[in-house]
Amino acid sequence: MRPEVFNREQVQAWEQRWFAAGNSSYGLMQQAAWQMMPHIVQSIDSLKQDQVVQHQTSIGVYCGAGNNGGDGWLLAAYLKRAGYGIWVYEVEPPITDIAKQAKAYAVAQQVRIFYALSQLPLADIHIDALFGIGLNRKVSGAYQLAIEQFNQGSGYKVALDIPSGLDANSGAVLGITCDVDLSLSVLGLKVGLLTGQGPAYAGKVINLPLIPPDDQLQVLARLDQQVPQLPKRRKTGHKGTYGHVLIIGGDENMGGAAIMAAEAALAGGAGKVTLLTHEKHHNAALSRCPNVMTLAMPAQAQITAEFAAQVSQSIDCIVIGMGLGRHNWGKAIWQAFLPVLEQAEAVQRVVIDADALWHLSAGHLADEQAIKTGLHQHWYCTPHSGEAARLLGTTVHTVEQDRIAAIYALKEKFDGNWLLKGAGSLSLDGQGLSICGLGNPGMATAGMGDILGGMAGGLLAQLPDLPLHEIVALHAAAGDILAKQGERGLQATDMLQVIRQVVN
Ligand SMILES: NC(=O)C1=CN([C@@H]2O[C@H](COP(=O)(O)OP(=O)(O)OC[C@H]3O[C@@H](n4cnc5c(N)ncnc54)[C@H](O)[C@@H]3O)[C@@H](O)[C@H]2O)[C@@H](O)CC1
């Protein structure tokens, strides 16, 4: 089961329906704090086990004025009652009735309260209860100073619901954000924890559901955390059964990308792979993988639609763009192949990556109508933020500030299935929006996208209905196997050895 992911408005509406049904708002806050308690206790125990903390544990809670601060006040009170040394730093007094009630309870438990950052005692665990999903503008003033000090403090850091400063809907940092080891999300997983800058700041994410879903609950996305299982191969299958991939790319000085893609298509299980690339790369391709068939690209003048149609016969999936180049040669290839790429009857699956995305963004489309009439449904486009920005005519910063808006805009503009690469890769396919919870920073290295594109081609040629998010999860899972030997130094070509493990 893939966990559900929500945006701020969906969680707020769910909460409001819960209260409208007669459930207590303060009761929900008590449940939230009470459910958070064992996770804090567990963190203390593991710090003690690892001998990071040997004395009596001291815990500091930073409380803001809203209900997230209310969670902090109650949690502080419960921890005090359990015998832990605890203090609260109050940035502003509570402004909601239930947060006031929570503070009153903490005061009654004689929790120590500080009002000046300069007076805060040292703590082994720092808890961030400044803002939750109510953050709606850039952090400044006393809150900014509090977050700065929170981040500077040593020890284990925990955020209640979501790190303060992180936008719950986009994962954008609104000025500054708490950098934590653990985020204890309540009700539903907020998408901002999983995309944008979320993965860099949220640490380990645990969701505490608290209340049951209701019929009106809307889900934004699903999270992939497990390696998808592919169907077993038929005993009577032969190489023709498992699809023929055509990889198109590799301008004169960029052969490596297309060769890696071809190898990845085979590693992903394609029955046959043909590599259409500059003749200069044939020897290199054949010495690395003699099981790939090579096709020489004719002189530029002969790269015609007829040539494209001829070489695309009996092809199940075309993967185009790796090292294709942005100059006349690459442009001629893109334009010659477009009529084939745009006809699902000609080639049932098309993966568009790298420089092919550049040509797509340059507006070189054969049939503009195809987009409007949904004829690109067999396209699988795989941009990173830079390529997405160009396709949308905007800046990388704008894409990064709201990756979800960006992927929906790409789908709207070009139709087809989209993957927006990066930490917490987003995919938008027939199953809706998915977030990849697998993968690691070791995978941020040259050639990783070429491997993904080739692997996608190899998988789609065999299993045309395989959802894009499963392909992304398989690729990320392969990277996670490699990361067990260390993230740094992981090379794209290392992936070829482990792709086989995850697709079987
Ligand atoms: N009964 C409830 O309502 C429950 C609420 N819960 C907690 O409550 C949180 C949401 O509470 P709220 O809606 O009160 O929101 P927050 O506590 O996140 O923050 C709200 C306040 O901060 C202000 N604010 C927003 N951005 C600011 C900025 N940059 N600088 C200064 N002030 C800023 C807002 O105007 C508002 O007054 C959840 O994230 C969760 O932690 C949970 O306890 C579950 C139950």
Judge whether 423 is annotated as a binding position: yes
CA of 59 to the centre of ligand 1 (A): 22
Nearest CA to ligand 1 atom 9: 68
235 annotated as ligand-binding:
no
Tell me the C-alpha distance between 171 and 448, whole Å.
24
Q: CA gyration radius for the chain?
A: 26
Whether ligand 1 lies within 6 angstroms of the CB of 128 is answered as: no
What residues contact residue 17 under an 8 Å CB cut-off, 6+ apart? 214, 216
Protein residue whose Cα sits closest to atom 1 of ligand 1:
25
| Cα torsion angle, 308, 309, 314, 316, sign | positive
Distance of CA 19 from the midpoint of ligand 1 (Å): 16
Please tell me the distance between residue 161's alpha carbon and the centre of ligand 1 in angstroms: 10
ipTM of the complex: 0.98
All structural domains of the chain? 4-219 (3.40.50.10260), 244-502 (3.40.1190.20)
From the CA of 70, give the closest atom in ligand 1. Answer: 43
Give the pLDDT score at 172. Answer: 95
pLDDT (0 to 100) of residue 186 = 98
pLDDT of residue 53: 65
Contact 59, 79 (CB under 8 A): yes
**Contacting residues for 260 by C-beta, under 8 A, at least 6 apart:** 322, 447, 450, 451, 454, 492, 493, 496
217: left (phi over 0), alpha (psi -120 to 50) or beta: beta
Q: Which residue is closest in CA terms to ligand 1's atom 25?
A: 135
299 labeled binding residue:
no
Sheet holding 426-429, edge to edge: 189-190, 4-6, 221-224, 432-436, 426-429, 417-420, 379-381, 349-352, 317-320, 244-248, 272-277, 293-296
| CA–CA dist 378, 319 (Å, integer) | 12
Is position 424 annotated in a ligand binding site? Answer: yes
Q: Ligand 1, residue 130: give the atom nearest the CA.
A: 17
> Nearest Cα to 194, choosing from 425, 463, 349, 396?
425
Pocket test for ligand 1, best of 8, 24, 67, 145 (most atoms within 8 A of CB): 67
Q: Is 6 in the pocket of ligand 1 (CB under 6 A)?
A: no
| Residue 8: partners with Cβ closer than 8 Å, 6 or more residues away | 133, 168, 169, 190
**Structural contact between residues 114 and 144, judged by C-beta atoms closer than 8 angstroms:** no
446 is in an annotated binding site: no
Ligand 1 atom showing the smallest separation from residue 165 Cα: 29
- Confidence at residue 45, expressed as pLDDT on a 0 to 100 scale: 87
Ligand 1 centroid to residue 130 C-alpha, Å: 8
Residue ranges for the chain with pLDDT beneath 50: none
CA of 172 to the centre of ligand 1 (A): 17
Give distance in angstroms: CA of 390 to centre of ligand 1.
Answer: 36
- Using DSSP's 3-state secondary structure scheme, residue 453 falls into helix
Q: Using an 8 Å Cβ cutoff, are 141 and 57 in contact?
A: no
Instruction: Specify the ligand 1 atom closest to the Cα of 29.
Output: 43
Q: What pLDDT was estimated at residue 119?
A: 96
Give the helix/strand (H/E) hosting 160. Answer: strand 156-160
Query: Which string of b and e fits 456-480 if b means at least 16 CB within 10 Å?
Result: bbbbbbbbeebbbbbbbbbbbbbbb
Helices (H) and strands (E) in the chain, counts: 18, 19
Is 196 assigned a ligand-binding role in the annotation? no
- Indicate if ligand 1 lies below 6 Å from the C-beta of 161: yes
Ligand 1 atom at minimal distance to the Cα of residue 99: 14
31 lines ligand 1 (CB under 6 A): no
Per the CB < 8 A criterion, the answer to whether 358 and 496 are in contact is no
CA-nearest residue, atom 41 of ligand 1: 68
Per-residue H/E/C for 233-257: CCCCCCCCCCCEEEEECCCCCCHHH
Backbone dihedral angles phi then psi of residue 357, each to the nearest 5 degrees: -70, -35
| Separation of CA 65 and ligand 1 centre (Å) | 7
From ligand 1's centre to the CA of 120, what distance in Å? 23
Q: Which residue owns the Cα nearest ligand 1 atom 15? A: 134
Q: Which atom of ligand 1 is nearest to the CA of 71?
A: 43
Residue 130 beta carbon below 6 angstroms from any ligand 1 atom = no
Please tell me whether 458 is known to bind a ligand: no
Distance CA 56, CA 99 (A): 28
Compute the distance between CA of residue 149 and CA of residue 181 in angstroms, rounded to an integer: 16
> What's the confidence (pLDDT) of residue 114?
98
Of all protein residues, the one whose alpha carbon is nearest to atom 40 of ligand 1 is: 68
Q: Which atom of ligand 1 is closest in space to residue 139's alpha carbon?
A: 29
**Residue 375 confidence (pLDDT):** 62
Q: What is the token pair recorded at 169? A: 């809907």
Residue to probe by mutation, ligand 1, list 90, 130, 131, most atoms within 8 Å of CB: 131
Q: Is 131 in the pocket of ligand 1 (CB under 6 A)?
A: yes
Atom of ligand 1 nearest to the CA of 129: 41
